[in-house]
């Protein structure tokens, strides 16, 4: 057993002993300690740009979706002038949530407790007993829903930020924007969300999910062993898939803490030969990717037509995606609720210009992978980890994040730092490097190196 940190506070000095990204070690404390969670809530989630939703979910005035920024409940509402607002879903009278629906269209939000009523911009419009009880002296302009001060959109993805010192969303995304385009900007018209939301509540720490999407391809064969068991040719077992990942893929990290693992070849053909038996729906979607490749190359260039965002990715801290894996593409978000619980939400995403047939096939693909088979596997791991590291002894263990250490470098073709295969823990090391900067700095953590 490694030496105990013996620390229970969340001071910068204590945290620096718990996370050493250069050595590749991370303490169990950061996943279970209440004091560390409380500090994350303030210093990570009140400072970062956080994913709020996709524009296609709120096309018309009054359309809204309910989400979270960290543990704060947020309404994302399309305004009359076409802009998007984020509003804290907490009535200014006693804090009641003024909207309890997941999504919909509303002209007003009426608080179900005493009836204060807000418009779609969050302005307080009416209050029961305004004349007799408040003698008409209540200044309604002072009691609107608290707005999210910054909302910006990157190619359909809506993000919000509470920190006025944070850089613009584009600057925050840094090198990652180039990779996100492989998901968001493949064809004219961009993307849309399809199907409903897939939601799971996991009794684990939010970072377990975020760091996995940041770059854990190491788990794929073991954790998801049942998937190829259902699909593959017994003569072509899963290890060949890992060979494909190592041979034809890379991992990319940005200094801002974002990352993606992607194939750098035309994956449709490689995957087709790697696993023999696909469903008809996977074939329909892969055929769409094959046919649209030239269009994507014209738009984004040859490198980006060959992946390289085909796989899992994470925008720090908690926006995740899984692109073109087994025919499905999805975006997701991890909402923390204390150190020991998080919500795990995911939606299908598709090129708006794709045919109805391709969109329908992709929804069916999503039901199999990842929503049907893979998410349950991953959720089981995250919950089981929390159970085993919650104990006073296990939480003192240092965990090993050293896979593929020191093998990254620059690559002329690709922005950021690049690992020359798809299976390393470089993305997790960069995730915790950035996490530590947020957790140990007193204000927005500037990046002054590479
Ligand atoms: S809590 Fe909303 S009206 Fe009282
Ligand atoms: Fe997984």
Q: What does the pLDDT look like over 347-370, one tens digit per residue?
A: 999 999 999 999 999 998 888 778
Q: For residue 49, what pLDDT is reported? A: 98
* Predicted TM-score of the model (pTM): 0.94
- Banded pLDDT at 226 (limits 50, 70, 90): confident
pLDDT for the residue numbered 286: 84
| Phi (first) and psi of residue 51, to 5 degrees | -70, 130
Mean pLDDT, the chain, integer: 91
Query: Which part of the chain is CATH 2.102.10.10?
Result: 50-152
| Binding site membership of 91 for ligand 1 (Cβ less than 6 Å) | yes
For residues 40-48, give the mean pLDDT: 98
Residues of the chain with CATH 3.90.380.10: 175-440
Q: What is the pLDDT of residue 310?
A: 83
Q: Does 6 score more than 70 pLDDT?
A: no
Ligand 1 atom at minimal distance to the Cα of residue 98: 2
* CB of 124 sitting under 6 A from ligand 1: no
Where does the pLDDT of residue 3 fall: very low under 50, low under 70, confident under 90, or very high at 90 and above?
very low
- Residue 76 Cβ < 6 Å to ligand 1: no
CA-nearest residue for atom 1, ligand 1, is: 94
Per-residue pLDDT band for 274 (boundaries 50, 70, 90) equals: very low
Q: What percent of the chain has pLDDT over 70?
A: 90
Q: Which CATH superfamily is domain 50-152 in?
A: Rieske [2Fe-2S] iron-sulphur domain (2.102.10.10)
pLDDT of residue 235: 61
Q: Checking phi first, is residue 70 left (phi over 0); if not, alpha (psi -120 to 50) or beta? A: left
Q: How far apart are CA 86 and CA 374, in angstroms?
A: 32
Supply the residue whose CA is at minimum distance from atom 4 of ligand 1.
114
**Structure confidence at residue 187 as a pLDDT band (50, 70, 90):** very high
The tokens describing 416, both together, are 């950021």
Average pLDDT over residues 43-67: 98
**How many angstroms separate the alpha carbon of residue 333 from the centre of ligand 2?**
15
Is the pLDDT at 125 greater than 90? The verdict is yes
Looking at ligand 1, which residue's alpha carbon is closest to its atom 3?
A: 114
Q: Which ligand does the CA of 115 lie closest to?
A: 1
pLDDT top residue among 256 and 230: 256
175-440 carries CATH number 2.60.120.10: no
Helix (H, G, I), strand (E, B) or coil at 235: coil
Ligand 2 ion: residues within 5 Å (CB): 378
339: phi then psi, degrees, rounded to nearest 5? -70, -20
Residue 97 Cα to ligand 2 midpoint, Å, equals: 34
- What is the Å distance from ligand 1's center to 339 Cα? 29
pLDDT at 50 over 50: yes
Distances, alpha carbon 213 to alpha carbons 77, 314, 330, in Å: 28, 6, 12
């Amino acid at each position: 057993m490694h030496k105990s940190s013996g620390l229970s506070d969340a001071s910068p000095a204590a945290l620096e002993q718990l996370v050493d990204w250069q050595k590749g070690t991370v303490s169990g404390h950061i996943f279970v300690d209440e004091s560390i969670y409380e500090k994350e809530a303030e210093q990570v989630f009140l400072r970062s740009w956080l994913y709020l939703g996709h524009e296609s979910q709120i096309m018309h005035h009054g359309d809204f979706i309910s989400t979270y920024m960290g543990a704060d409940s947020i309404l994302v509402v399309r305004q009359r002038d076409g802009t998007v607002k984020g509003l804290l879903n907490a009535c200014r009278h006693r804090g009641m949530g003024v909207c309890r629906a997941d999504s919909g269209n509303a002209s007003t939000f009426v608080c179900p407790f005493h009836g204060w009523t807000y418009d779609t911009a969050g302005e307080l419009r009416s209050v029961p007993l305004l004349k007799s009880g408040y003698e008409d002296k209540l200044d309604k302009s002072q009691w609107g829903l608290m707005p999210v001060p910054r909302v910006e959109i990157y190619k359909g993805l809506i993000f919000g930020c509470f920190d006025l010192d944070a850089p613009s969303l584009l600057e925050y995304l840094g090198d990652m924007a180039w990779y996100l385009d492989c998901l968001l900007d493949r064809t004219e018209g961009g993307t849309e969300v399809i199907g409903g939301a897939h939601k799971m509540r996991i009794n684990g720490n939010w970072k377990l999910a975020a760091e996995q999407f940041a770059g854990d391809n190491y788990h794929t064969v073991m954790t998801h062993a049942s998937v190829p068991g259902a699909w593959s040719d017994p003569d072509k077992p899963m290890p060949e898939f890992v060979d494909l990942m190592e041979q034809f893929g890379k991992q990319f990290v940005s200094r801002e803490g974002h990352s993606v693992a992607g194939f750098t070849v035309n994956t449709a053909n490689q995957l087709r030969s790697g696993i023999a038996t696909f469903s008809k729906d996977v074939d329909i979607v892969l055929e769409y990717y094959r046919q649209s490749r030239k269009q994507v190359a014209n738009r984004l260039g040859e490198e980006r037509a060959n992946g390289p965002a085909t796989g899992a990715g994470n925008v720090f801290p908690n926006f995740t995606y899984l692109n073109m894996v087994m025919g499905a593409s999805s975006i997701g978000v991890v909402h923390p609720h204390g150190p020991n619980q998080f919500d795990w939400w995911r939606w299908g995403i598709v090129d708006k210009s794709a045919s109805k047939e391709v969109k329908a096939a992709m929804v069916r693909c999503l039901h199999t992978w990842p929503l049907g088979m893979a998410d349950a596997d991953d959720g089981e791991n995250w919950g089981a980890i929390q159970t085993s590291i919650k104990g006073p002894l296990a939480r003192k263990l240092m965990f090993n994040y050293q896979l593929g250490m020191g093998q990254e470098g620059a690559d002329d073709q690709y922005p950021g730092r690049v690992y020359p295969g798809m299976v390393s823990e470089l993305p997790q090391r960069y995730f915790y490097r950035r996490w530590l900067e947020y957790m140990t700095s007193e204000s927005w953590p500037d990046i002054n190196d590479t």
